Amino acid sequence: MSALSVRARIERRGVDLDLDLADGEVLAVLGPNGAGKSTLLSLIAGLVRPDHGTVMLGDATLTDTAAGVFVPPHARGVALLSQRPLLFPHLSAAANVAFAPRSRGTGRAASRVLARQWLQAVDAEDLARRRPARLSGGQAQRVAIARALAAEPRLLLLDEPMSALDVTAAPVVRRLLRTVLREQSRTAVIVTHDLLDALALADRVAIVDAGRIVESGTVRSVLTSPRSAFGARIAGVDLLAGTMAATGSLETPWGTTVSGIEEPGGDLHPGAAAVALFRPAAVAVHLEPPHASPRNALPVTIAEMEVHGTTVRVRGAENPDGSAGLAADVTAAAVADLDLAPGRQVYFVVKTQEVELHPALPAPAG
């Protein structure tokens, strides 16, 4: 049985989300701004009601629009930690943490003991008597984590918990979350824009784009073999989406043909929706299309160039379907030899055996 199951639609926010999470699993949710990541957490936490749908936690129904069920946020067994720690300003750190057990009916003295334990767990014992105004961002976030845990939630929701922290505080909080999430085998959903968080904290990644979960899988599979434009961007690989024209050959909606190696057992029959993936390092830049097959020569207008260590990343203009332009990693010498510059028309040349063809994800239901 899944620990968490969400099927929910909110018309006015343009979201239609479908998600399952197993017990003890940590899911990282990534995606562009405005995609619906915070809305997903709000739906689970009971801060918004869907137009249609259900939210189940274990065998408890938290939201069911058809049955008229809506459990209020405080009774859900879910703790939500947001970007900015929302601590009560008039209470000390210890009293903030003790608030959670207190509101569950635990006695004053016992709550104080629990608060001390949780502050200890986040390495913030020495902050117990301070008011939030006298805490740094990282300290306040640690106290907020202690408070979230003191509520003994069945599910922990974290909305970009590191994004408001400075560069020294973020790694401390990340390490702490790693301990909390991994070693205590908690079930959690963490929204982040940072791939490091996904790598350090999560078992699985889901990518939300335009209100839909467009891709989900293990952190490894999404990074090595992404199927969505956003997944490809964070994984740093080139992706072209299209349909299979023939065996080993994909055609984009704008008529570019790419040949590659099909995923074994991938069922890439002609007409099937598919993606072509290749690494920017596998791309050579030419001024004229080479005659030698088996190579792909993709016409590209250079949009920008960036130096990364000893290579130069040449980025093509956005594709006609609006997806991110292709990237090629070439040497500085090649840039000089070919006189590459933004605005130039070139060919990105990539060998057939460097291109992987995979089935596209099925279109989201609904």
Nearer to ligand ADP, 160 or 262 (CB): 160
Distance of CA 187 to the CA centre of its chain: 16
Which range touches ligand ADP (CB under 6 A), out of 28-36, 58-66, 174-182, 358-366? 28-36
Q: What 3-state class would DSSP assign to 197?
A: helix
Please choose which of Mg ion, ligand ADP, none residue 36 contacts, taking the beta carbon within 5 to 8 angstroms, the exact cut-off set by kind: ligand ADP
- Residues touching ligand ADP: how many (CB under 6 A)? 10
Nearer to ligand ADP, 31 or 85 (CB): 31
- Preceding amide of 294 cis, omega within 30: yes
Q: CA-to-CA distance for 313 and 330, rounded, in angstroms?
A: 6
| Shortest Å, Cβ 189 to ligand ADP | 12
Q: What is the CB-side half-sphere exposure of residue 119 using CA atoms within 13 A?
A: 25
Nearer to ligand ADP, 146 or 207 (CB): 207
At 245, which amino acid appears?
A
* Of 38, 80, 43, 77, residue with least CA distance to 57: 77
82 part of the interface to Mg ion, by CB under 5 A: no
In the region spanning residues 6 to 45, those forming contacts with Mg ion, defined by CB under 5 A, are: 37-38
CA dihedral 92, 96, 99, 100 (to 10 degrees): -160
At 15, which amino acid appears?
V
In the region spanning residues 39 to 98, those forming contacts with ligand ADP, defined by CB under 6 A, are: 39
Q: CA-to-CA distance for 273 and 21, rounded, in angstroms?
A: 27
The binding track of 2-21 with respect to ligand ADP, each residue x by CB under 6 A or -, is -----------xx-------
Q: Mark 261-284 as b/e (b = at least 16 C-beta within 10 Å).
A: ebbeeeebeeeebbbbbbbbebbb
168 part of the interface to ligand ADP, by CB under 6 A: no
What are the phi and psi torsion angles at 302 (to 5°)?
-70, 130
| Shortest Å, Cβ 159 to Mg ion | 6
* Of 59, 180, 47, residue with least CA distance to 124: 180
Q: In the block, which residue shows the tokens 């292709």?
A: 326
Is residue 269 within 8 Å of 244, Cβ to Cβ? yes
Nearer to Mg ion, 37 or 102 (CB): 37
Please choose which of ligand ADP, Mg ion, none residue 13 contacts, taking the beta carbon within 5 to 8 angstroms, the exact cut-off set by kind: ligand ADP
Nearer to Mg ion, 19 or 274 (CB): 19
Nearer to ligand ADP, 191 or 244 (CB): 191
| Shortest Å, Cβ 191 to Mg ion | 6
Which range touches ligand ADP (CB under 6 A), out of 37-45, 94-102, 117-125, 132-140? 37-45
Binding site for Mg ion (CB under 5 A): 37-38
Q: Which residues bind ligand ADP (CB under 6 A)?
A: 13-14, 31, 33-39
